[in-house]
Chain A
């Protein structure tokens, strides 16, 4: 799941300053799960912005709110088509993907990001999320016992642990587990410790071309949706 964090209220208020009629648009998938932009957060932000306006005495905004099932597909955004004529901007509580999809679908309307899209991760417990995947495009989890050194090691090294590990913790953060110690322990449990002896050549992240595209259909029409 994509994990994000709502932007500070000041930043959001600054962003919306030029626009009077703002739609706060929530996303019913990842952003709901990570408590950043589901229907409840949309409503909370709506109330907070109104309160801020009342208390500061500045601004002349009118807000509306709506939550789509997903912002990252234009078909869902089509549901908004009839509602945009009286809008000056859409404040999206979707991830960066959502904001861009809105921008594409409604070319004449500013799309503002209400959250900072942070990482891909898991819910550790209610209200706590941890990063798990860097979307590097070259998955080595088979070799590292299902624990990703790219995201979970502070240095992201492929041949760990480094000398900074102490009692299973990382030198950069005493509360954080050393990913390579975790990998070692799990390989031991799986009786695959020989994998620790292998040397993994350095990866050149610079060679991975951006933006990426995946095409799973067998026949593609050339020239459509290019770019």
Chain B
């Protein structure tokens, strides 16, 4: 069993009342897409409530170096996000960064205990190596990292420019590795693995990255003034300032090419041209990065490739040829074909070739090398042809992303553990199913469109002059509003108690999204891939047969009520007013957030995740416990849901009728749905409190008279 790692992943339970056995939620597409399978839906939901510290806890439990991912992750999760069917995906990476900054990530300390004897050597300190070291330490192994450069980080250090990943962030994570007791040997190039075994290491993880740039294979490539992308970035990142001249060409269309172009601009080049042989659509570089590069003044020449370089009078004369797109090749991209007689010459001072990299594995490692100079490994065990030697990261996959490398490092740690403990490598058992499938057009039509909120960035003028981080962090309001766009895929309603279901069709009738349907055999089905988890059918079901797949709300509200009752009894307040307040809106992070925990005399807040989850029973219970007044407050117009107000008003009316029959003033129960901006929710609430106070006094007088 990969105990520690599995525990680490599943140990998170923010909600203590939640019983895992009742959690029938499915893995949402974002989590499936994430190589680390982070609990994205959970932390986005916590961000939406402004609970950043808990969000940070969830993030930390699934990712060894989230602060790095928060800056540079290529976010495959966002590409998988089903919100893109409605408008645009959730800004997951930016939300993560918000949670880290505002949840106190800087304060996090790492620690680990040594419980095992076998020492493990890690060759290379890129994200894969660092992740592997992190998890091996968690498992209790003594770990040493060998790094050829002067500092840890691999491509994070020498490849990614500082404006994308500030070095303090990387340094902090490296610092935590040291805290955990990882032995770090920098400026140490490993040339032979035998030596490491001789030194007493029982297992070796080879993660040397892919630092060797591919050659363009054209005439004049060796001229002075031609440099490859990886070398260029490495030199800049290690503190050198290469002189580039005024006009710089960058060949390639990947992230390295864009990084090189933007770096060249920051080094003072007047004009930077990217030459890419295909068109914008085929460009593998991150879309946002390309946008930002264009804003900063980088020019991209599409469908152009250099064919010859000649050094003349201290400058480079580059002959280029225009291309057109032919049929799709194996990679699915359309193949560029040179257009005849379309050659033209262009003068540059420097040409940076960034057309791809391959790993360069020392021959003395004696590991099997496969296609593209990558190290061959067993995909399950990550073992190479040599016993005790494991490999991962770019060295195995070719140039890939940080998060893939982290995942490889994490897997390697568990496989090395298996190897050292003489266990058959277990593939992790995932008890939850994956949520697959697209939203149906009729569901999409009913979902409120809420545009994506991007984090602020420095202006192109301000950022192109130095290496300050380009992207800034969200403020509270923007972050919570952005996170509230999440569709909560996979936690939707299910008919948990089929035997109770009377097939009354209430769910089918009340669902705003037209999700429940009657199947051919006459049974109600609530397809999980369509359900928006608004919870209205859960509360409306007359048989109480429906629950959400993460059914903690009902119990949570009851427990919270009990808690308030106890606290209020201790504080001996004269009037007790209980408010069921949506945690996504004003009462979470907005103007009334201070109400949380009785900041206003006599007013106690039961936090709910959407007021649609408050049922008549809860309201009656609040009165029974001694509340003089009860109110429900929603998040108003910012709400990502439809129709909740209607159902809340239905329930309020029903309870008011009952109150009247009991002899209580119906006005003691109120629903606030803050809508228009000019309305003052605090004022409305004050009025309500005053009114309830009046009822209370009146009832005291009546009692006096009676007695």
Contact = CB atoms under 8 A, between A and B. Distances in A.
Interface of A: 8-10, 28-29, 32-33, 35, 38-41, 43-44, 47-48, 50-52, 54-56, 67, 69, 123, 125-126
Contacts of A56: 662-663
A69 B624 CA distance: 29
Contact of B542 (A10, A41, A54, A69): A41
B509 A40 contact: no
Given A38-B542, A41-B542, A32 B502 contact: yes
B500 to A, nearest CB: 6
Interface string B581-622: 000000000000000000000000000000000011100110
A215 B621 CA distance: 48
Interface string B644-665: 0000000000000010011110
Q: Which of A52, A69, A125 has the most CB of B within 10 A?
A: A52
Given A29-B502, A126-B510, A10 B661 contact: yes
A43 B544 contact: yes
A8 B661 contact: yes
Contacts of B662: 9, 48, 51-52, 55-56
A44 B617 contact: yes
B499 interface: yes
A125 B499 contact: no
Given A28-B500, A32-B502, A38-B502, A48 B658 contact: yes
B658 A9 contact: yes
Contact of B617 (A9, A28, A43, A123): A43
21 contacts: A8-B661, A9-B661, A28-B500, A28-B502, A29-B502, A33-B502, A33-B504, A33-B542, A35-B542, A39-B500, A39-B542, A43-B617, A44-B616, A44-B620, A47-B617, A50-B620, A51-B623, A51-B658, A51-B662, A54-B624, A126-B509
Given A28-B543, A38-B543, A51-B658, 12 more contacts: A29-B502, A32-B504, A39-B542, A40-B615, A44-B617, A47-B616, A50-B620, A50-B624, A55-B663, A56-B662, A123-B505, A125-B509
Interface in B631-690: 658, 661-664
Nearest to A51: B624
Contacts of B500: 28, 39, 67
B85 interface: no
Q: Which of A9, A33, A44, A51 has the most CB of B within 10 A?
A: A51
Contacts of A125: 509
B658 A40 contact: no
Contacts of A69: 499
B565 to A, nearest CB: 13
B506 interface: yes
Interface in B491-512: 499-500, 502, 504-506, 509-510
Q: Which of A54, A123, A126 has the most CB of B within 10 A?
A: A126
B542 A55 contact: no
Contacts of B504: 32-33, 38, 123
B502 A47 contact: no
A55 B544 CA distance: 27
Given A28-B502, A55-B664, A47 B544 contact: no
What are the 5 closest A-B residue pairs judged by CB atoms, nearest first? A38-B542, A47-B620, A33-B504, A126-B509, A9-B661
A71 to B, nearest CB: 13
Contacts of A41: 542
A10 B662 CA distance: 8
Interface in B536-557: 541-544
A67 B544 CA distance: 11
B546 to A, nearest CB: 10
Given A38-B502, A48-B620, A52-B662, A32 B542 contact: yes
Interface in B377-420: none
A24 to B, nearest CB: 13
B509 to A, nearest CB: 4
A10 B544 CA distance: 26
Contacts of B663: 55-56
B660 to A, nearest CB: 9
Nearest to A50: B624
